[in-house]
């Protein structure tokens, strides 16, 4: 089995023991991304909307490094601390995802850092 680690400085790199993504064949598995600006290393403030946007910018950069794109996402997992903010997250989600929309799970979760309001992971095809 051939696993390729995907990493880019264009997205936040966690200090946890994980890869930004792993490519296996024609599929890339992107780890859960949090709303940290890779240039500053700071958590984005301003609520779920700005945090979701930063998460997707990070995911987009990782997919680009894996020779994939947001258009190739087949599954997304969304983890939020407050499901009352679902509409705000979903509005940004629709800016980054296109039809046919990926299969998706959205769950309420407790984050390691209480200032993180959203975390998203994706699985995408590679063309």
Say if residues 113 and 43 touch (Cβ distance below 8 Å): yes
Q: What is the pLDDT of residue 85?
A: 98
Q: What is the pLDDT of residue 127?
A: 84
Q: What is the pLDDT of residue 75?
A: 98
Residue 1 pLDDT class (50, 70, 90 cuts): confident
In this prediction, residues 8-31 reach a mean pLDDT of 96
**Helix spans in the chain (H):** 48-65, 86-96
Say if residues 39 and 98 touch (Cβ distance below 8 Å): no
Q: What is the pLDDT of residue 118?
A: 98
Question: What is the model's pTM?
Answer: 0.96
What superfamily would CATH give domain 4-125?
Answer: RutC-like (3.30.1330.40)
Separation between Cα atoms, residue 105 and residue 126, nearest integer Å: 21
């Amino acid at each position: 089995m051939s696993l390729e680690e995907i990493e880019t400085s264009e997205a936040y790199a966690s200090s946890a023991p994980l890869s930004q993504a792993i490519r296996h064949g024609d599929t890339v598995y992107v780890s859960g991304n949090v709303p940290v600006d890779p240039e500053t290393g700071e958590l984005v403030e301003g609520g779920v909307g700005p945090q979701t946007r930063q998460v997707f910018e990070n995911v987009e950069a990782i997919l680009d490094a894996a020779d994939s794109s947001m258009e190739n996402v087949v599954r997304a997992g969304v983890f939020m601390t407050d499901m009352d903010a679902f509409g705000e997250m979903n509005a940004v989600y629709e800016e980054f995802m296109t039809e046919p929309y990926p299969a998706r799970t959205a769950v309420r979760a407790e984050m390691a850092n209480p200032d993180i309001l959203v975390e998203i992971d994706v699985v995408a095809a590679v063309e």
